Amino acid sequence: MVAAFPVVKLGALLVKQVSKPLASFVKKRAVNNAFFRNYICVPPAQFYNWCDVRMKMYLSNIIRTEDSVPIPKLTEQAAIELGANLLGEFVIIAVASSILLWEYNRQQGKEEIRERKETEFVNQLEQRITDLAFENAELDAKIRELTRLVYSTPTIMANHTKALRESSSVEADSDSAINKAVKEAQTKISPRI
């Protein structure tokens, strides 16, 4: 931010330098053109003179009465010069103000873009946190299921062992019956020696 201050000074100087030729053009135009002189330059100069004299009288504590002399008007040459100077200063101020407003609007646009990006980033973080919370809940459920299975394994093993013993005794009986039937069939079919 330190570098911005000299840039602002340089910008102000640039505005003055660019506006001066425009102001001098306006002054020349006021001197040469009767319409421009009579309707654009002289009336503001006469009004400025009237305000200036009234302010000086007020500050000097001079009270204006009906008998007092009216405020004198400027000569045409003085009014043209003053009006041209006022118009030139107005042009300089208008150019500087327009540049200032343009810069302000540009900064506002940048600020809005930055805020939008920050809001989007925060929303993405919130969404990621929500997703992680769901994943965490799912993993907790799986851990609880595995823990339940681990603690119930001895019961399951005992039940499984019991079922195996019962099925193996049935299988042993059926195997011996099958073997006996096969041997009998073989003895009947085979010739007696």
The whole-number pLDDT of residue 1 equals: 44
Residue ranges, the chain, pLDDT below 70: 1-8, 19, 23, 64-67, 153-158, 160-161, 163-193
Based on the number of CB atoms within 10 Å of its own CB, is 11 exposed (0-12), middle (13-18) or buried (19 or more)? Answer: middle
pLDDT in tens, 132-177: 999 999 999 999 888 887 777 666 666 766 766 666 655 555 556 6
The whole-number pLDDT of residue 2 equals: 47
Domains of the chain, residue spans: 4-130
Question: Structure pTM?
Answer: 0.51
Token output for 51: 């305000």
Angle between helices 4-32 and 76-189 (to 10 degrees): 140
**Sign of the dihedral defined by the CA atoms of residues 174, 177, 183, 185, in that order:** negative
Neighbours of 136 (CB within 10 A): 10
